[in-house]
Amino acid sequence: MNQARANPLNKFAMHGALILYTLIALFPVFVILINSFKTRKAIFREPLALPDAESFSMIGYQTVMKQGDFFLYFQNSLIVTVGSLFFVLLFGAMAAFALAEYRFRGNMVMGLYLALGIMIPIRIGTVAILEMMVATGLVNTLWALILVYTAQGLPLAVFILSEFMRQVSDDLKNAGRIDGLSEYTIFFRLVLPLVRPAMATVAVFNMIPIWNDLWFPLILAPAEEVKTLTLGSQVFIGQFVTDWNAVLSALSMAILPVLVLYVIFSRQLIRGITSGAVK
Amino acid sequence: MQKPRFRWHLVVFLAPAVLVYTAVMIFPLFNTLRLALYSKVDQERVFVGLQNFQTLFGDPNWAPAFWNALGNNFWFFIVHMLVQNPIGVALAAILSHPRLRFAALYRSAIFIPTILSFVIVGFAWKLILSPIWGIAPSMLDAVGLKSLFAPWLGKEEYALTTLALISVWQFVGIPMMLIYAALLSIPEEILEAGEIDGVTGISAFWKIKLPLILPSIGIISILTFVGNFNAFDLIYAAQGALAGPDFSTDILGTFMYRTFFGFQLQLGDPHMGSAIAGAMFAIILVGVCIYLFGIQTRMRRYQL
């Protein structure tokens, strides 16, 4: 092997740089988490110390549990995210299959039309979206959010999934056709299982922005019973700015679900990004 | 031969996606642009042509706020381009080094801020930079730089840059991952050919790898551009809808939100809000067009 690429000094410097940046990336999360378990005095006296027997306190979490309806928010976020992902994947895969599998007039145009939304953020249309949701009575329902996120996720989903569906072997589909399977059966039974990895990639890409979005919950569904976790913690923290225990605990409770999801899905996510699905 | 039957399954497959996408995304987009040409006079919607845009760009009550938000937004973007993308490329270059140990661990850890919501990020940094809590000043004190500390988020001259850097901290993972993927796809033979010609180490990065990953850097730049010009959440979470202190952190997203919904004494105005959305749309469109026709087509792509 080449000497220059295995220089021990270089290696040392590389690890140093990576460790330094990792610390920068994790430090704020770490500080928030450890301080959420401390008494108010300890938070201010020694912000960087780990909670010990003396400074340990759950008072912040107790306030949060008493004052904020975090389970409801969590449930709303979960419904919106899972619902949107379901429709993005189902509708996106169906459209991607139509574009990848059949030749028809307007195929190109349809593909370009659906791809427009990759670059143009849906937020630009907020004024008219709100007007429409008010007119249809969907404002302050979770459906409003699910519809918006479905529309937002579809362009990239169709784009990525159709790339993958072009790689599914024609022989397989034609064998199915000779056996008399309908186009629907071919799609649901033969093609969908084969593009499952791509579907997972699309799901993971969409999951984080939907879960973390503040704009649409704030505008389309600000009512108490449909608040998402992101909006709920924003409002809660806004009300409790001076109660540091409560704020830190609320932040930690908002961080944890995402962190858990990330630990579960990070391999999928990183594989998705690095497999070049977004090139 | 008989004419093929109408293929109903095509309609069934395409209809749901096309309907939802058209109804919730494309139609409201154009409807918003249309609403920008109207105004409310005596409770009635009147067509006023481009007057809203004239007000936005030239009226003494509106124009300063608009140009302020636009200028801030450009600064926000420039900070991202100058800090986020070089750090992302550098991290990716180190991570893609063959036989680096713990690469997966570093990669996952550095990506964590990207998955957190703006609310968490905004408040967490607000607390850390807060002079009341004192984490930032005491850490600076530890390295003897305490005199450098200032309440960065509260000072007009620093607040915007501070927020931009917080956003950089949050999103550095995205360029890192995309560049990392691009670097991994460079064939080993090319690097070895370079080594035979004596191009190794740092110069191999500048002379061989960087030209090969330029298309990915282009994609990252346009993603950053679009993301920054429709940013809102972080500013709102950290500084509120008023984008304080004294509007020094106001960007187009927060300006549109305030205009649309109203704040304090000013009533919400959907038509002016639409006009701002129209301006944002135009800016993003220009950026995307410059990228697609000016940069992407001219960029040299190497057949790997």
**Bond before B131 cis per omega within 30 degrees:** no
Q: Give me the residue label for tokens 């340990």.
A: A56
Domain membership flag for residue B218:
yes
Sign of CA dihedral B127, B131, B132, B136: positive
Domain membership flag for residue B208:
yes
B177 and A274 within 8 Å at the Cβ level: the answer is yes
Task: List the helix and strand counts (H, then E) for chain A.
Answer: 14, 0
pLDDT score of A4: 47
Domain membership flag for residue B236:
yes
Q: Give Cα separations from A13 to A8, A253, B94, B100 (angstroms).
A: 9, 36, 10, 12
**A contact residues 164-193, partner B, Cβ 8 Å cutoff:** 182-184, 187
Domain membership flag for residue B223:
yes
Q: How many CB atoms lie within 10 A of CB A5?
A: 16
Nearest-CA distance from B61 to chain A in Å?
A: 22
Domain membership flag for residue B14:
no
Provide the pLDDT confidence category of residue B304 given band limits of 50, 70 and 90.
low
pLDDT score of B256: 92
Nearest to A22 among B110, B118, B253 (CB): B110
pLDDT digits (tens, 9 = 90+) for B140-188: 877 777 777 778 888 888 899 999 999 999 999 889 988 988 888 888 8
pLDDT score of B302: 65
pLDDT score of B137: 78
Q: Which of A127, A136, A181 to mutate to test the interface with B (most CBs of B within 10 A)?
A: A127
Q: Give Cα separations from A133 to A118, A138, A188, B251 (angstroms).
A: 23, 5, 33, 26
Helix (H, G, I), strand (E, B) or coil at A179: coil
pLDDT score of B147: 75
Phi, psi at A56, each rounded to 5°: -70, 135
pLDDT score of A278: 47
pLDDT score of A275: 65
- β-strands B38-41, B266-267 pairing: unpaired
**Does residue B301 carry a pLDDT above 70?**
no
pLDDT score of A6: 53
B20 and A212 within 8 Å at the Cβ level: the answer is no
Interface predicted TM-score (ipTM): 0.87
Nearest to A255 among B9, B116, B284 (CB): B116
Domain membership flag for residue B132:
yes
Structural domains of chain A in order of their starting residue, each with its CATH number:
4-63 (no CATH), 68-170+196-239 (1.10.3720.10)
Provide the pLDDT confidence category of residue B53 given band limits of 50, 70 and 90.
very high
- Residue segments in chain A with a per-residue pLDDT below the cut of 70: 1-8, 273-279
Separation of alpha carbons A59 and A127, rounded Å = 42
Q: Which of A33-37, A62-66, B27-31, B298-302 has the highest mean pLDDT?
A: B27-31
Q: Which domain holds residue B66?
A: 59-296
Nearest to A95 among B14, B270, B274 (CB): B14
Residues B189-193 have a mean pLDDT of 87
**Which residues of A are less than 8 Å from B107 in CB distance?**
270
Helix (H, G, I), strand (E, B) or coil at B291: helix
Burial classification of residue B163, based on how many CB atoms lie within 10 Å of its CB (0-12 exposed, 13-18 middle, 19 or more buried): buried
| Phi and psi based region of residue A106 (left: phi greater than 0; alpha: psi -120 to 50; beta: remaining) | left
* Higher pLDDT pick, B299 / B74: B74
Nearest CA in chain B to A28: B124
Separation of alpha carbons B127 and B150, rounded Å = 14
pLDDT digits (tens, 9 = 90+) for B97-118: 877 888 888 988 898 998 888 8
Domain membership flag for residue B255:
yes
> Residue B167: which of B83, B256, B56 has the closest Cα?
B83
Q: What is the DSSP letter of A17?
A: H
pLDDT digits (tens, 9 = 90+) for A95-125: 999 999 888 888 899 999 998 888 889 999 9
Mean pLDDT score of chain B, rounded to an integer? 87
**Does residue B273 carry a pLDDT above 70?**
yes
Separation of alpha carbons B189 and B193, rounded Å = 6
Span between the terminal Cα atoms of chain B, in Å: 46
pLDDT digits (tens, 9 = 90+) for B210-249: 888 888 898 899 999 999 998 998 999 888 888 878 889 9
Nearest-CA distance from A73 to chain B in Å?
A: 14
Cβ–Cβ contact A151 with B under 8 A: yes
Q: What's the domain count of chain B? A: 1
A-B contacts at Cβ under 8 angstroms = 258
**Which residues of A are less than 8 Å from B138 in CB distance?**
47
Domain membership flag for residue B18:
no
Q: Give Cα separations from B218 to B175, B230, B297 (angstroms).
A: 11, 19, 11
Residue B217, token pair as written in the block: 């850097």
We report the CATH number of the domain holding residue B290 as 1.10.3720.10
pLDDT score of A39: 86
**Which residues of A are less than 8 Å from B127 in CB distance?**
32, 244, 247-248
Q: Between vectors from CA A230 to CA A251 and to CA B242, what angle results, nearest 5°?
A: 95
